[in-house]
Amino acid sequence: MSNSAARLSISARRVRWGWLGFTVTPLAIAYCQSWGYSVPLLTCPIRHLTGVPCPTCGMTRSFIAVAQGDLHQAVIYHLFGPILFVGFGIATIHIILELLTMRQIKTFYVSVVCSRRFLLLFLIVLLTYHAYRLFQLANAEERYPDFSDFP
């Protein structure tokens, strides 16, 4: 881990503030929900409109379970929930440190996460997991909702 010699520009700081909002929001919502506060509009629009869960369905419930300390239930809701929760936490701390020091902090995980190969691999693994979940849902005993029931 090393700091850049140059100070962050105003536009770079604005970008950091935007990313900070992006990384803090899911964590804050999970903690609010875990303490019993209701946050409206947390339903998946894709599942609401089609009846088919999207690749990230269950992520909010997984984040809430992690916030409550129930990792087993978090993995049941979504396998990537605990991983992304930790990732969002690390990113939040990283961005706060950059904003406090006004310098870019260079670490190995930033270069890994920003690489196209990692992002492509993550997308492939996520979509494979999603296909597996859809297969399980299709073979479940419950009647799968009819698409004509949805707008």
pLDDT per position as a tens digit, 18-42: 999 999 999 998 998 888 887 776 7
pTM for the full predicted model: 0.82
Per-residue model confidence (pLDDT) at position 35: 85
Per-residue model confidence (pLDDT) at position 148: 43
Residue segments in the chain with a per-residue pLDDT below the cut of 70:
2, 5, 41, 141-151
Q: Which helix (H) or strand (E) holds 21?
A: helix 10-34
For the chain, the structural domain boundaries read: 2-149
Say which amino acid occupies 82.
P
Per-residue model confidence (pLDDT) at position 22: 96
Per-residue model confidence (pLDDT) at position 3: 73
How many whole angstroms separate alpha carbon 81 and alpha carbon 71?
A: 9
Q: Which helix (H) or strand (E) holds 6?
A: strand 2-7
Q: How many CB atoms lie within 10 A of CB 65?
A: 25
Q: What is the CA radius of gyration of the chain?
A: 19
